[in-house]
A and B are shown apart, each in its own frame.
Chain A
């Protein structure tokens, strides 16, 4: 009996270490820093079309330290299961001038970004679907700020 009890105790101790590690991993991944695979042509030349692995930090948007020019990961307002990577062009209260068709520079519109929203655009204006199509993005949809690229190794380094 005593033998089983000591084995059970040791098993529980080891299991608790594993559980604590998984909890730490989850908290770090969800609330501190996570890695994401981003692909698509809408952020050329900043991000590759074939896909990059980037590190996203989840702290800046909670303390309000995001500004225009930051690369952000956002949840798509058109499809809640998709995340987009775009650049913030204007914060709330700023006036933004944009044209839906970048090949015709004379057809531009401007508006003021409403309260609680941001204006995001892809770096590759010709193929990006961004705020020019679905309007200003509510700030609550921002998930994190992209700050570093780790794959491919040739483009390893800080971004933005």
Chain B
């Protein structure tokens, strides 16, 4: 089962940094499969789409960092220092983060995400043309 999703959730006339790639300012079209979320075959490092816990009509695209039971160490506010916190992801939840941590609303803002809000896993980029191909692992 595949579906096309636009990764940027704002209208095209608004310039917005695309959350996954810091080099791309435009909308990306990704191919998303919905089987992995139903069978539970997600792994840390996958790019997932989910319904935002704060705005239920919005679909958000972030990278899966941790599954339930994992211990996550994250930088609380990268713009104001290097203070880190460590948490254990609670049962039935996952931890998601954007690749560009300086400008992203993710689990560091709204906490661990309930697994039921996950909708699918993005695995292929269709547009822009230069990024056509499988999604890359997180850039270090």
Task: Give the A-B contact count at a CB cut-off of 8 A.
Answer: 41
What per-residue 1/0 map shows which CB atoms of A50-88 lie under 8 Å from chain B? Answer: 000000000000000000000000011111100000000
Residues of chain B at interface, number, CB under 8 A: 14
Q: Provided the pairs A76-B92, A77-B93, A78-B92 are in contact, do residues A116 and B116 lie with their beta carbons within 8 angstroms? A: no
Residues of chain A at interface, number, CB under 8 A: 14
Q: Provided the pairs A116-B52, A116-B53, A116-B54 are in contact, do residues A140 and B117 lie with their beta carbons within 8 angstroms? A: yes
Whether A76 and B54, one on each chain, are in contact in the complex, defined by CB atoms closer than 8 angstroms, is no
Identify the closest chain A residue to B94 (Cβ): A80
Whether B55 and A138, one on each chain, are in contact in the complex, defined by CB atoms closer than 8 angstroms, is no
What CA separation (Å) do A78 and B50 show in the bound complex?
Answer: 17
What per-residue 1/0 map shows which CB atoms of A132-147 lie under 8 Å from chain B? Answer: 0000001111000000
The reply on B45 being an interface residue by CB < 8 A is: no
Whether A75 and B54, one on each chain, are in contact in the complex, defined by CB atoms closer than 8 angstroms, is no
The reply on A26 being an interface residue by CB < 8 A is: no
Q: Provided the pairs A76-B116, A140-B117 are in contact, do residues A116 and B55 lie with their beta carbons within 8 angstroms? A: yes
What per-residue 1/0 map shows which CB atoms of B52-70 lie under 8 Å from chain A? Answer: 1111100000000000000
What CA separation (Å) do A140 and B51 show in the bound complex?
Answer: 6
Pairs of residues from A and B, 9 with the lowest C-beta to C-beta distance, nearest first: A140-B51, A75-B116, A80-B115, A139-B56, A138-B53, A116-B54, A77-B114, A78-B92, A140-B56
Known: A80-B92, A117-B53, A138-B117. 18 other contacts (CB 8 A): A76-B92, A76-B116, A77-B114, A77-B116, A78-B91, A114-B54, A115-B55, A116-B52, A116-B54, A116-B55, A138-B114, A140-B50, A140-B56, A140-B116, A140-B117, A141-B114, A141-B116, A141-B117
Report B's interface with A, CB cutoff 8 A: 50-56, 91-93, 114-117
Report A's interface with B, CB cutoff 8 A: 75-80, 114-117, 138-141
